[in-house]
Structure 1
C-alpha cells in the first residue's frame, strides 16, 4: 500500500537533501530593500493564523511595513488569491490550479495538527493510534470506553523527550529569553532520551461527538490525508479538504445525527468542542491552548507516542520531498522514532511577478521575516523553527518573489 500523501502527483520530486549544501541561497534572500509603510493584505488558512497574528506587530516594528490577515480557511485563501483579493494567500494544502501562472508556494510555517478532546473525568493525556483516530472520526468507534481505546491507554508506552535550548530575542522592543528545541546540523530536533511509562486510564461510558470543519479546510485535508495513509482499511476514501466528501460512510445517516457536528474554521470548531462533553476535533495545536483543551499523543510508525509539538513535526518533515511549485510530499512511511506524523507545513501563495514592485519587495520581506523570526519569538504556538534543508528550500522559493 502506497502511504505517501502526494498532492501534486505529476510533479517531479526533489530530495530536501539537495538543498542542504546550498548555502549560497542564503545570500539570495537577504532582507530586501523595500519601500516603507507598504500595507499588505493576506488571507486563508486558519492553521497559520495563530503565528501570523502574533507576529504582526514585530514585523511592522522591524521593517516599517505591515499586513492584515483574514483567517478564512484554506479554500477561501486559494479562491481569494485567484480573484486578486490578497497580496499573499495561504493554504494548508497546495493550490493545484492557480489562476496566476506566476504563483508559487512557500512552505514557510510548520506545525502539528492536534487531536483535541473533551472527556470529563480524564485528567491524564490520552494516547491514540492512527487506526483508533480513523475509527472515531469514521464513527466505527462511538464510545469513549470502547475496548480499543481502553487497551491503547492501559499499557506501557514510550515517548521521545527532546533537548531544548535558550535563545534571546526581542518581543515588543524588549530582549526576552525563549526556550526552543535544540537541533543538529541538519536542522533535525535532538532527542535527549525516551521516557517509558505504564499508563492506566479509566474512561467513562460517554458517547463520542465528532466536531469537524464544515468549510473548505486545508487542515481537514491534512488530517484526512493522514488517516487515508495511516489507516487505509478504515479511512477508505482519499483525503479531501471537504470532510463530508472524504467521510467513509453515509454522513447523513440517522445514527450520526448529533454525533457529527460541523463548524466553520478552527476558531469555531475548537470552542464548540469545549462546550460538548465527550467531543473530539482536530486543529493546529495553538487552538487547544487557547481553549484550555487537552491534546492526544499519537502512535507513530516506530511504535512511540508523540505529542503534537514543533519538535515532533520537524522530525517528521525531515523525510519529506519537494516539488517544483514549492509544495511538499509528506512521507507517511517514515520510521523516525521521534516523528509526529500528523504534522505539516502550511503554504503562503505568492507571485514571482507582482505588478507593484514595492508590494513584491514587501511580500519577500514578510516571508523572510516569518521564516527567520516568528517561530523563534513565539515558540508557545508550537510552530516549528524551520532549519536545515527545508529552510534552504524556503530561501530558494522566497528568492523568486519579485
Structure 2
C-alpha cells in the first residue's frame, strides 16, 4: 500500500520550544505514548497526553482546555454544534483497533467463541451463567462451569464502550432497546465498573467468572484470554491486524471520517473493529492559542498520519488505509489560524 511520508524540512525543529497538551481515549493510549516520544526525538516538540476516556476528551475539546482531544466514538452533530463560535471540530483518524471480549474462568484456557447475539445477552444481563446452553452450543468446555457471570464494564465515558455497544446494538434489537449504544450506556446494575481499559482489565483479572471488553493491546499486554467473535459472514474471528484491516476495507471512508466499521461484511473481517481519532479545531485562533502553537498542532498531526503510521503495527494497531490517510491529510491541510492558512 502506498503511503505518504513527510519531508525532513517540514518537521525541522522550531527555534523556540512549543509544547502541546491532549487528553481523551484510553483505547490508543499505548500508541500515543509511543507517537509522542518518537515525535519529540524527531522535532523537539513536547506533547503530553492524559488517558481520561473519550467522553473526557470530547468534553475538554468543547471546554477548550486542551490543544487536542482524542476519541474512539465520533462526536455527534449535536455535540459538535456546541463548539464555541461554531468553530468546526475535525476528526483526524490515526489508527485502527479492535475491542475484544476478555474473561477469567478458572479451569478454562481456551479461546471461547461468541455469537454476537449471545454476547449482547451476556452484557444486557439476560445470560447469567457460563454453562448457559447458548454459550455451551459453541463452547462445549463450558458445560461443567458453574460460575455465575460477572460483567466488567467502563465506569467512565468511553470510546471503547461506544465501539462495543455500537456492534451489540447492531446485532441485537433487545440490547439496543435496553442498554443502548454510546460512550456511556445503561449497564445492568450488578455490573462492575473500571476506569479506562486498564481498569476493566484489572476487574477481570481479579474477578473469577467475569467478562469484560478492552482494546486488543490491553488483552495482549496483560496476557489475558480473549475470545473469537462470529462475524456477519458466520465466521468466528479472533482479532488481529489482518482482520481489523479487512473490516476497514469493507466500509467506505466518509469525507469527515466519522465512520463505523463494526459488524463489517467479509469473511475475514473482525466485527468489533473501529477507528480512533484526534480532535482539533479547524480554526486554531481561539482562547489562548497562538499561531506558533497552531503550526505545531498541524505538524504533529501530519507526522502521525504519515511517518508515525509505521509505529502502529508494533503495538497491535492497524495502519490507516490509503483512502483514510488521504482524507486525513486533506483535513489537516485545511487547518487555519483566523483567516490565515498555516
Q: Report the counterpart of residue 225 of structure 1 in structure 2.
A: 166
Quote how far apart the aligned CAs of 1:387 are: 2.7
Q: Is the 8 A contact 2:95 2:312 kept in 1?
A: no
Are residues 392 and 378 of structure 1, via their aligned partners in 2, closer, same or farther at CA, if it must alter by over 3 Å? closer
Partner of 1:121: 107
For 1:327, the equivalent position in structure 2 comes to: 258
Higher relative contact order (CA 8 A, sep 6+): 1
Using the alignment, how far apart are the partners of 2:34 and 2:143 within structure 1? Answer: 38
Alignment of 1:1-400 (within 5 A): 31=10, 35=14, 37-96=17-76, 97-98=79-80, 99-100=83-84, 101-154=87-140, 204-237=145-178, 238-244=180-186, 247=187, 251-252=188-189, 256=190, 260-330=191-261, 332=263, 334-355=264-285, 356-400=290-334
Measure how far apart 1:33 and its partner are: 5.9
Unaligned 5+ segments in structure 1 are 1-19, 155-199
Cα offset for 1:226? Answer: 0.6
1 CA distance for matches of 2:193 and 2:127? Answer: 18
- Return closer, same or farther for 1:235/1:205 CA change in 2, 3 Å cut-off: farther
1:201 to partner: Cα distance = 6.2
Kindly report the root-mean-square deviation, in angstroms, between the aligned alpha carbons of the 2 structures: 2.6
Give the deviation of 1:123 after TM superposition. Answer: 1.4
The 8 Å contact of residues 43 and 86 in structure 1, kept in 2 or not, is answered as yes
Q: Quick one: distance in 1 between partners of 2:223 and 2:135?
A: 23
Tell me the CA shift for residue 330 of structure 1.
3.3
Shift in CA distance, 385/215, structure 1 to aligned 2, threshold 3 Å: same
Aligned residues: 324
Q: Distance in 1 between matches of 2:18 and 2:143?
A: 56
Secondary structure of the residue aligned to 1:59 is helix
Give how far 1:104 is off.
0.8
Q: Deviations over 1:311-364 (max 9, x none)?
A: 2111111233444433114363x4311111100001110122223222222222
- CA deviation map 1:11-35 (0-9, x unaligned): xxxxxxxxx99x9x9899x946673
1:167-219 Cα offsets, whole Å, 9 max, x none, are xxxxxxxxxxxxxxxxxxxxxxxxxxxxxxxxx66652111110111211121
Q: Of Structure 1 and Structure 2, which has the larger fraction of its residues in strand?
A: 1
Describe the shift of the 1:297–1:84 C-alpha distance in structure 2 as closer, same or farther (beyond 3 A).
same
| C-alpha contact (below 8 Å) 2:72/2:276 kept by paired residues | yes
Using the size of structure 1 for normalisation, the TM-score is 0.74
> 5+ unaligned residues in a row in structure 2: which ranges?
337-342
- Structure 2 CA distance for aligned equivalents of residues 345 and 387 of structure 1: 11
CA distance in 2, matches of 1:370, 1:202: 47
For the 8 Å contact 1:26–1:392, the answer to whether it is kept is no
Q: Which moved more, 1:141-150 or 1:91-100?
A: 91-100
Supply the distance in 1 between the matched residues of 2:215 and 2:262 (Cα, whole angstroms).
20
Does structure 1 conserve the Cα–Cα contact (< 8 Å) formed by 2:158 and 2:183?
yes
1:209–1:279 Cα contact (<8 Å) kept: yes
Quote the Cα distance in structure 1 between the aligned partners of 2:6 and 2:49: 28
Secondary structure of the structure 2 residue equivalent to 1:328: coil
Q: Which moved further from structure 2: 347-356 or 81-90?
A: 347-356
